[in-house]
Amino acid sequence: MKRILVALGGNALGSDPSSQRKLAVKTARALLPLIQQGNELIITHGNGPQVGIISLAFESAFSPMPFPELNAMSAGYIGYHLQEALANELRRTGGKQEVATIVTRVEVSPDDPAFLNPTKPIGPFYSRAEAEKLAKERGYVMKEDAGRGYRRFIASPKPMRILESESIRALLEAGSIVIAAGGGGVPVIKKDGLYEGIPAVIDKDFASALLASLLGADYFVILTAVDKVAINFGKPNQINLDVLKASDARKFIAAGHFHPGSMLPKIEAALSFLEANPKGAALIASLEKAEAALKGEAGTKIIL
């Protein structure tokens, strides 16, 4: 029996409620063999499109919802779809494991330099006049994004501590499959000994790496839209990598081979997991090749 943390990419979830439910079933079926082999399984996921959907719904019907609440809502909403899909697949195939979703708080430092330069766009696009009004009335940081208009930007601090890690461990050891750290978790800071949520977003891969390290996972598996890590991606001289040494990964990062918005955080998260948990293994693969990657037949294995 192995302890496996699987971090789902956005392609596993879709961008609207209808496609999300269908893709949750597809995801459950892809992960089912890992459970049937007797492994302990933790699942994490992103929440970018879903946060935007919930935010727009509240803005049109009520008043703006604070971002920590948006994050928690999306974690519950996505977690429910994954939980139901996994539970149904288990029942369909004779499995008896329970599936639990944990809304997960993740402590960050209020002094994290990320707060000085918010880099994560959220929500819809606005005109310049609308953006200036939002900045004045709500204190939002508004920036032009992709030449399509202005969006709200929030900080992306590094995760320091996962507050529910021992609850997650207890559920795993009781035989449950656990869905946790949805959207990177709800960022919180400690103030006068108490925790409070803040408007920020933690990269889901960094949060997943921290959780995998805290739980002593044997495998940290990042599932994405491609089958392997590649250098010269999308070019005629693209090279797919079966194995990626940490030293080579750092050289490729310095050379700009990995895009900051896609593969770079995945590579960095895998490296941070291995540094904290040298006996573990880090894999990057597509959802369809998850089982094969764990057998060494697909994906990219990252090693120290």
Examine the residue annotation and report whether 133 is marked as an active-site residue of this protein.
Answer: no
**Alpha carbon of residue 22 to chain centroid:** 19
Query: How does residue 197 score in pLDDT terms, banded at 50, 70 and 90?
Result: very high
CB atoms within 10 A of CB 22: 12
Letter for the amino acid at 104? T
Report, as an integer, the average pLDDT of 184-202.
95
Neighbours of 195 (CB within 10 A): 13
Rounded Cα gap, residues 13 and 80, in angstroms: 12
Confidence of residue 104 (pLDDT cuts 50, 70, 90): very high
**Average pLDDT over all residues of the chain:** 91
How is 108-173 classified by DSSP, letter by letter?
--TT-GGGGS--EEEEEEE-HHHHHHHHHHH--EEEE-TTS-EEEEEB-PPP-EETTHHHHHHHHH
Which listed residue (46, 47, 52, 204) is catalytic? Answer: 204
Spatial CB neighbours of 37, under 8 Å, sequence gap ≥ 6:
none
**Please, are residues 108 and 160 in contact by the beta-carbon 8 Å criterion?**
yes
Residue 174 pLDDT > 90 = yes
Strand partners, 230: 240
pLDDT value for 48:
60
Report the 3 state secondary structure along 204-261.
HHHHHHHHHHHCCCCEEEEEECCCCEEECCCCCCCEEECEEEHHHHHHHHHCCCCCCC
Q: Are 215 and 133 in contact (CB under 8 A)?
A: no
Q: What is the mean pLDDT of residues 50-72?
A: 68
For residue 205, pLDDT over 90 is answered with yes
pLDDT at 239 over 90: yes
- Is the pLDDT reported for residue 57 higher than 70? no
Radius of gyration of the chain (CA): 19
What span, in angstroms and rounded, lies between the C-alpha atoms of 75 and 69? 10
All structural domains of the chain: 3-108+164-303 (3.40.1160.10)
Mean pLDDT along residues 233-249 = 95
Q: Is 204 a catalytic residue?
A: yes
DSSP 295: T
Q: Residue 153: what pLDDT?
A: 92
pLDDT attached to residue 293? 96
Measured in degrees and rounded to the nearest 5, phi and psi for residue 149 equal 135, -165
- Banded pLDDT at 182 (limits 50, 70, 90): very high
Mean pLDDT value of segment 240-249: 96
Spatial separation of the C-alpha atoms in residues 282 and 220, rounded to whole Å: 5
Above 80 in pLDDT, residue 51?
A: no
Average of per-residue pLDDT across 78-96: 95
pLDDT at 280 over 90: yes
Q: Is the pLDDT of residue 175 over 90?
A: yes
User: What would the mean pLDDT of 166-180 be, rounded to a whole number?
Assistant: 98
When mean pLDDT is compared over 21-25, 59-63, 102-106, the highest value belongs to 102-106
Q: Is 120 annotated as catalytic?
A: yes
Q: What is the pLDDT of residues 116-154, one digit of tens each?
A: 999 988 878 899 999 999 999 888 999 998 788 999 899
Residue of 266, 277, 280, 299 with catalytic role: 266
Q: What is the pTM of this model?
A: 0.92
22-26, 251-255, 265-269: least confident range: 22-26
Q: Which of 2, 26, 120, 133 is catalytic?
A: 120
Distance, in Å, from the CA atom of 209 to the CA atom of 200, rounded to the nearest integer, reads 18
- How far is residue 168's CA from residue 148's CA, in Å, rounded to a whole number? 41
